[in-house]
Structures are given as structure tokens and as C-alpha cells.
Amino acid sequence: MKKYLHLQTPDLEMWQGCFMRAIEIQSLTGPAGVTVVETNEPEPDSQSVIVDIVCGGVSFPDLLQSQGLYQYRPDPPFTPGIEASGVVRSAPSGSGFKPGDRVAAWTRGCLAETVLAKPEELFALPEQLSFEEGAALVMNYQTAIFCMVDRGNLKAGESVLILGASGGVGTSGIQVAKGIGCSQVIGLVSTSEKGEIALDAGADHIVLVSDTWKDEVIELTGGRGVDMTYDPVGGDRFLDGVRALARFGRLVVVGFAAGDIPTVKVNRLLLRNVTIVGAAWGEAVAHDPSIPDNIHQRLLPMITAGAIKPPIGQVLDLSEAQEAYRLLDEREAVAKVLVRMRPDPS
């Protein structure tokens, strides 16, 4: 049986090499290469916080990484993950954390029962959020603020179209847009069932994918078009996302969940004074580690006000890790897909 050490501070001499379970990518073959292994807990050091993970988020970049298609490409075997929630087991003096603190984490390899994290890779989990919601908070909502506000300059009173509006990136984009005071948030979805998820997240209108969806969006804006298209999808929806823009509108490129990287004839941009903006939160953080805390401070008032409440889709047991990846690969995931690492201690 697995044993836990409950140390007030990391103690290298008392560490006994306890075992834990973790998700492991054993081959770059997508879901088929995902398994759960028993391995040694990370060895404590004097600078890191030890966190017992309750829930871990599985996102589209995790799927791409399992296929060897993401820009960060560790060689297998490796433990994936970039966002999770849990409880501090021990923390060094001056870290700002203490045993028992509820935290959200953004640290690589966090799809494991226990992780080491730098203090700056942790946020105190607001009391308004559960562990499940905390595991869905970091990557998607950080991405939404960075891409929509910092890169796309989205402002209160503007209108925004969210592509892929029922997924984790889409629902977080809806809530951030509403949280900053956008006047009209339109979600593009592929089915009525996914439309209900977007509406529950706060979208004012939903539009179903069809040959005429761009025209429906323009009609909803009184013929003007939207000020911003938020695009984590790419593929064949990208071009109509550009066409749906108002004059001086912006399309923010967030990702390519459709699998195809689109192109555009630049005269379309010139003729209507529209802008296409590339936005990558992870790349920006790699060059400026202060970004996550800065964004978190802007998210906190929205959380307190109830504007941000991460929608949760499927919550799977750690033993079902492969299924979490399959849901993303088969485009069956809605809202945020989570893996539960241990029972909720609260």
C-alpha cells in the first residue's frame, strides 16, 4: 500500500522513496500510448512545494504531445500534464504556502498523484472553486485573458465570436468575454447539445455549423460583424471567421483543434482593415514567467463576482486515463476533461 509522508518542510533525509501512480506516455501513438504506471514519488528538495494532486486537467495540447505533434516534445516515456489542483503536503519557508493549502498548479508532469512545483507555479485556490474547477482554471482561463485581452485588445462593449464554443477553451473564452463586459458573445458549435453547454457557460447566442453560419453571425450583429473572432479550431472555419469580422475587427489564432493549419489571402485583411493576431500563452510565459500571476490577479475579481465558474465535462478515474485522451482525439469532449487522481479531501 502506498504511504504518505506529511512533513512540515521538505526533508531529504526522511524521504523514503514512496510510490505513486502517474499517467505515462509510453509511445507517441496518441491514446494507444497512454498508460498508468506505479513509480517513485518525486524526491523532495529545499526549493519546491510538494503537492498531492486531487484532479488533473487533460487538454488538446496534451493530446498533441502524446502524438509527437506539439512544439514541446519530450521523448517517451514521460508524464504529461500542465494543470492540476491539489493540497500542499509540505512547503519551504518563505514560499507563501503551508501544509493543507488548496492550490491550482501549472507545472509540467502534473498528471500524477504527487508533484514537486516551484512556488511561482502555484496559485491559492479560491474558496468559490472546487478541486475539479481548480484543475480546469489554469490553462484555459490564462489563455483566454492572454489571447483575447492582452493580444487581441478585447474591450467592454465589444462583440466576440467564439469558435469551438463548447470545449474547454471555448467555454473559458465565453466567460472571460462576459466577465470583461462584452456586449454580445456568440458561440459556434457543431450540435444543439454542444450549444446548450455554450449557453450554460454564458453565451448570448449560439450558431450551428452550416454552409451559412457566417451569414447568421453577421445577421445577429445587425449586419456589422463581430469585433473579434476567437479561434482555437482552425481548419475550414478560420476563413469564415475572418469574413464574419466587422471593419477593424481582429481574429485571434489560438490553436488548430480541427487538425488543419489554414491560410488566408492577405487582400482580405487589407480591404476591410481587419487583423489576424497569433497568440500563444505558453510561449509568452517561457520568456516572461511573471505573466501567470499577473493574469491570475485579473481573474480573481471575476471569480469572486461569479463570472468565472469553469464548466466541467467528463471526470474520469486515473485508471481511465486512456479514455480521457480518446475523448479529445475523437472530438467527443465537452467543456473540460478531468482525471481524478485521489478522492476529494474536503
Q: Is 190 exposed, middle or buried (0-12, 13-18, 19+ CB in 10 A)?
A: middle
Whole-model pTM?
0.88
Whether 25 contacts 81, CB under 8 Å: no
Please tell me whether residue 5 adopts helix, strand or coil conformation.
Answer: coil
**Which residues on neighbouring strands pair with residue 277, listed in sequence order?**
252
- Domains within the chain, CATH numbers bracketed: 19-137+310-340 (3.90.180.10), 141-282 (3.40.50.720)
Binned at pLDDT 50, 70 and 90, residue 256 comes out as confident
Sign of CA dihedral 37, 39, 41, 47: negative
pLDDT top residue among 136 and 4: 136
Lowest mean pLDDT, pick from 67-71, 140-144, 184-188, 209-213: 67-71
DSSP state letters, 164-226: TTTBHHHHHHHHHHHHTT-SEEEEEESSHHHHHHHHHHT-SEEEE-STTHHHHHHHHTTTS-E
User: φ and ψ at 135, to 5 degrees?
Assistant: -70, -20
Q: What is the pLDDT confidence band of residue 266, given thresholds at 50, 70 and 90?
A: confident
132-136, 164-168, 254-258, range with the lowest pLDDT:
254-258
- Give the pLDDT confidence score for residue 17 in this predicted structure: 58
Give me the residues paired with residue 115 across strands: 51
Helix, strand, or coil here: 137?
Answer: coil
C-alpha cell at 319: 485508471
**Could you please report the per-residue DSSP string of 67-126?**
TT-SSS-PPSSB---S-EEEEEEE--TTSS--TT-EEEE--TT-SBSEEEE-GGGEEEPP
Return the residue matching grid coordinates 514560499: 95
pLDDT confidence of residue 263: 81
Residue with cell 489560438: 254
For the stretch 52-84, pLDDT in tens is 999 999 988 899 999 998 888 899 999 999 999
Q: Is 132 helix (H, G, I), strand (E, B) or coil?
A: helix
Q: Is the pLDDT of residue 276 over 80?
A: yes
Compute the CA torsion angle 64, 66, 72, 73 (nearest 10 deg): -130
Instruction: Using alpha carbons, select from 142, 58, 107 the residue that is nearest to residue 340.
Output: 58
In the chain, DSSP finds a helix count (H) and a strand count (E) of 11, 15
Within 13 Å of residue 301, how many CA atoms lie on the same side as its CB? Answer: 8
Instruction: Tell me the three cell numbers of residue 126.
Output: 479560491
Q: At what angle do helices 291-305 and 168-179 cross, to 10 degrees?
A: 70
What confidence category does residue 2 fall into, taking pLDDT thresholds of 50, 70 and 90?
very low
Q: What is the pLDDT of residue 269?
A: 85
Distance CA(112)–CA(264), nearest Å, equals 41
Q: Could you tell me which residues come within 8 angstroms of residue 1 by beta carbon, excluding any fewer than 6 positions away?
A: none
Rounded CA gap, 281 and 47, in Å? 25
Find the length of the chain. 346
Average pLDDT, whole number, for the chain?
Answer: 91
Q: Is the dihedral of CA 50, 52, 56, 62 positive or negative?
A: positive
pLDDT score of 195 = 96
pLDDT value for 258? 65
Cα(124)–Cα(336) distance, rounded to whole angstroms?
A: 20
Q: List beta partners, residue 103.
A: 86, 124
The phi, psi pair for 83, rounded to 5°, reads -145, 140
Residues 170-179 have pLDDT tens digits of 999 999 999 9
